[in-house]
Amino acid sequence: MNTKYSVYQNTLEELLILLQKYNEERWAQYFKESLGLLQKGKPQRSIYHSLNAYGGMGSFNDSVFFTGASEKEAKYGLELKEKLWLECKSKKSILKRAVELLHITKRSKKADA
């Protein structure tokens, strides 16, 4: 992956490990999708997908506590959650997302032809 997104990717991967370890399957699946989008070369779609987890009632921000984790691991998980948010906010680009959508639309039209 592009080094521009390597911190984002590493944070996602580390967070996924903790989510799976502490049976946070709903969020593990959610962020697996973010990671998959990134690996498919759609970094902005991945970032927007990740950011969507943080809004509203019952959001990732409200509902993940790493139940059963040691105090040290729970703290690390919460730090990763914050790090992911900050990384997404710093990498988010409406213009780049629009370009991604344009490329997707062009590929779809070629496939339909």
Is the confidence at residue 1, as pLDDT, over 60? no
In angstroms, the CA 44 to CA 88 distance is 9
Question: What digits encode the pLDDT tens for the residues 68-104?
Answer: 999 999 999 999 999 999 999 999 887 777 777 787 6
Q: What percent of the chain has pLDDT over 70?
A: 91
Report DSSP letters for 11-44, one per residue.
HHHHHHHHHHHTT-HHHHHHHHHHHHHHHTT-HH
Compute the average pLDDT of residues 36-56.
94
pLDDT of residue 2: 64
pTM attached to this predicted model: 0.81
